[in-house]
Structure 1
Amino acid sequence: MKEQSPAIDDFATWVPVLRLLRAAGAKRDAAPPARVSGRIGRHSWSLALQPRRPSQGRAARTAVQDVADAAQRVQSALAAAGVDDIAFTAQIAPAGKTTLRLLGPSPAAEPGLGNPHPGALILVEGAVPEPWRRLPEPVPGAVPAATADPELLARTLRERLPDAIGATEEEIAAAEARLGRTLPDELKALYRVTRARWEDLGDDPEAAQRECTAVGCELFALDDLYVADASSRHCRWGFAATAAVVTPPDAAVQGLVGSPGWIVFGDNGGGDRLAVDLTPGPRGHTGQVIMLDHEQNIGAELLADSLTDLVMHRSAEERDDRRGDQPPAVAWVNIAQLKSIEAAAHPGLEVLRIGVWEGAPLSLAPVIALPRLRTLTAYPGTLADPLEIAELTGLEFLELGPEEWRVLLDAGAVPRSLSAAAITVHGDQEPLPVVGLANELLALWDRPRIVQTVVEGDLGPMA
């Protein structure tokens, strides 16, 4: 008989985790903690279980396994409930009586990073940050590079891959229909030589490596081509809203998140994707080869002026992509960078980030009339008057500390232009007030609240 999965709201599911947290807190503080909290997802967890001094040997391995086993029980319950992630906080009496509160999930709240507090609150269903809405600018003069030569490309690949099976015209037409766009001539020439299917490689263990060497990348099968538009590059709201699309006038590649003209055809072996670019920058070429770094949320790097150049192992023409004297669209005001709001203010400013600050609290007056300001993040305690935010009528994302949000909520001054918001929390702050604040914000937009589920139980006395 198959063992039944533990339930997420069954106290027994949480007992191993709670006992480990209670014991770890007692080791740190010489007394059992009154409160413990954390976050567990299907494939990860964030729990205050790190010892002050790293253990070694078998004891360390046993401790790690104990945590993994405890978390796994909760993860199994999450999977059974169809839930990706859950935060929790628990009050534990000295004798072991415990009140556990499960926080969430909510489709309108992203999980927090490494803590039990909520991440960004999505106030408008389906909303994405401005950089993810940005489409490529037209470049009427863009043409293929002089080095683009489909015949040379095909001839070279046939010499390198004499046994390859090429795609038929019907297969190429099917790929174009699936993608909703015509493939450039060089890309069609490549796939007419090899359609790059694993089943075509037979039993030759070196065939894939030969193909990779011949083309200059790990080539995707024709059936696996995809368009790297903005939706293909997922990013959390809090990060995405603080980015900006910038394309200098001498750029070969537009500084986009994604483009309907970026057709991904391969990988460099390290997770970075290669694409032909049909929407190049002002100094680029139609059909140039670009790389989308998997560690970057925005922009792409020019690899070759043409697909022929990539196959022939010719580097891209060097360009000096300079921004000139244009002030940045994203500005940081803190103890290490800009020293005033005035220094950050200019008509093109899109994102203002106020970080750790040692001087007097700052006024937002210098940026109130800026036409493009859409994101403001402010470290707790850095604003002289949070109510000045009400005059920033173009904000789509706002991140503040709990006290600043309290001021705006009490005054009915939360900007209605917002699509998303976040509450900055530092240190070991009790999650429940933060969740309550988040639910007040969600209520203003009639969005699903973060549900609190109370589970009572008894851990028994400390061993």
Structure 2
Amino acid sequence: MPSIHDFATWEPVLRLLRAGNAESTTTDCRVAGRIGPQGWSLPPRRQPPTPDGAARPDNARDELDAVQPVLNALADIGVDDISFTAEIAPTGKTVLYLLADSPAVEPGIGNPYPGSLILVDGALPEPWRRLPVPAPGASPAPPVDPAALERTLRERLPDAIGATDAEIAAAEARLGIALPDELKAVFRVVRARWEDWGDDYDAACRVFSAVGCELYSLDELSIADVPSRAWPWELAAMEAVETPPDAAVQGLVGSPGWIAFGDSGGGDRIAVDLTPGPRGHIGQIIILNHEECIGAGLVADSLTDLVVNGHKQGRGAPREEPPPPVAWVNIHGLPSVEAAAHEGLEVLSIGVWEGEPVSLAPVIGLPRLRTLAAYPGTLADPLEIAELTGLEFLELGPDDWRVLLDAGAVPRGLSAAAIEAHGNPSTLPIVDLANEILALWDRPPIIRTRYEGDLGPVA
């Protein structure tokens, strides 16, 4: 099998991308992308439609055939994905660079550029460090009745196979937490193993209908904690967590007291909540929206309530967007940095801006500001960033990073950073810049390896 380091492995991809570049016969063709078994990001190919104006149906197949040798080579060495960039001359002479991921760099989101740079080993964004706040006055809801719950389910599922006490105890030992009595009552009636249903989908549906969700088996129970909701740094750093005084559910990423026992049928986890919000109940049932990384919505006051009365809300309760600690200054958001500034501000994003570059003076000294993301060209003086002493995450364009690096003014309290590569710049200078930032924290660099080959002239 050709190695990932063999130019021949990459020839099909490079030929495909060159063929999709109309200028490749007269000027150098620069291409870059990222390829992995979960998908790939390649430059768009400008291929003409068929004579009747329809898109060419073989485009997707051509792309899959081209990347398959790379996927095979990645599987051979156990690597998830890889970035590349290449310069192809009109004669076919090609210089290819493979960019080996650094353990200190997250993959780029949908592009070949480096993602977030993790400057402190194991660092997590502030919302991912939040733990549940105790609610001393919380108690189970009045409808909690494990015995009645078990009777109801046995009436609905007379032929179900339940779990033994030993099986329940084994699940508790694996999770490191005692299961609530209501959850034990459910599994004493039905253990929800597919082999018990003989792969009969209708039998499974009867169980799911009786319980009110797609019930996991005991072996599938999990804790909906912070690690179960992993999120890229550059997205997670833009979030903030809040739990209003009247909230039933704490606005957390995850909790050691959220026991996921089922699915909504659409990928949203259903969990028992043992760490409720100020107005919630111990043992209430919540839903974790798979499209969100923070918070959960109330489904029922208890498992008894869920089984007897059904869902209160089909999905997670809406959260205010954006939450007050997050401010978006751009042509469609807040009109100025002044308008964003307040004592509780945690995250400031300065986006596409039609006016003059802005000053950061209004937010200097704010006690909770931890994230700044500024679109290229929006800052009047990037050196003002040095006065934002509480930053843990910083995202800037290459020119602004260059100003900070040259002045020795990169905030050393950062835990992570990102480079906003707007406008499809050349990949290698962005990699070099990323390595320069990583070096300030003695973090492992991105390794680039150069290869040469010849694709021959365009036919």
The corresponding residue for 1:263 is 259
Question: Could you tell me how far 1:311 is from its partner in structure 2?
Answer: 0.6
2:46 matched to 1:51? yes
Change (3 A) 1:278 1:59: closer
Change (3 A) 1:315 1:34: closer
Distance 1:101 1:223 in 2: 45
The corresponding residue for 2:250 is 254
Change (3 A) 1:114 1:327: closer
Distance 1:181 1:64 in 2: 48
Question: Could you tell me how far 1:57 is from its partner in structure 2?
Answer: 10
Change (3 A) 1:122 1:194: same
Deviations 1:338-395 (A, max 9, x none): 1111111111111000001111111111111111111100001111111111111111
Change (3 A) 1:317 1:447: closer
Letter in 1 for 2:428: L
RMSD: 2.1
SS, match of residue 17 in structure 1: helix
2:137 matched to 1:141? yes
2:394 matched to 1:395? no
Is the Cα contact below 8 Å between 1:263 and 1:277 reproduced in 2?
A: yes
Give ranges in structure 2 of 5+ residues lacking alignment. Answer: none
Match of 2:444 among 443, 448, 453: 448
Is the Cα contact below 8 Å between 1:401 and 1:423 reproduced in 2?
A: yes
Distance 2:31 2:433 in 1: 20
Change (3 A) 1:355 1:276: same
Deviations 1:53-100 (A, max 9, x none): 655899823332111111111111112122212111111122111111
The corresponding residue for 2:186 is 190
Question: Could you tell me how far 1:31 is from its partner in structure 2?
Answer: 4.0
SS, match of residue 95 in structure 2: strand
SS, match of residue 161 in structure 2: coil
Is the Cα contact below 8 Å between 1:201 and 1:207 reproduced in 2?
A: yes
Map 1:270-285 onto structure 2 (within 5 A): 270-285=266-281
Match of 2:217 among 221, 225, 228: 221
Change (3 A) 1:315 1:99: closer
Distance 2:313 2:286 in 1: 13
Match of 1:354 among 350, 355, 365: 350
Distance 1:36 1:323 in 2: 41
Letter in 2 for 1:16: P
The corresponding residue for 1:210 is 206
Letter in 2 for 1:36: V
Is the Cα contact below 8 Å between 1:43 and 1:75 reproduced in 2?
A: no
Match of 1:14 among 10, 14, 35: 10
Is the Cα contact below 8 Å between 1:83 and 1:105 reproduced in 2?
A: no
Deviations 1:246-297 (A, max 9, x none): 1111111111100001000001111111000001111111111101111111
Distance 1:57 1:208 in 2: 47
SS, match of residue 309 in structure 2: coil
Distance 2:319 2:78 in 1: 47
SS, match of residue 401 in structure 2: helix
Is the Cα contact below 8 Å between 2:132 and 2:275 reproduced in 1?
A: yes
The corresponding residue for 1:38 is 33
The corresponding residue for 2:153 is 157
Map 1:396-415 onto structure 2 (within 5 A): 396-415=392-411
TM-score (norm 1): 0.94
SS, match of residue 76 in structure 2: helix
SS, match of residue 235 in structure 2: helix
Map 1:406-425 onto structure 2 (within 5 A): 406-425=402-421
Q: Percent identity?
A: 69
Is the Cα contact below 8 Å between 1:376 and 1:398 reproduced in 2?
A: yes
Distance 1:407 1:216 in 2: 57
Is the Cα contact below 8 Å between 2:26 and 2:90 reproduced in 1?
A: no
Match of 2:57 among 61, 84, 90: 61
Match of 2:333 among 337, 355, 360: 337
The corresponding residue for 2:170 is 174
Is the Cα contact below 8 Å between 2:331 and 2:353 reproduced in 1?
A: yes
Distance 1:244 1:420 in 2: 16
Question: Could you tell me how far 1:188 is from its partner in structure 2?
Answer: 1.1
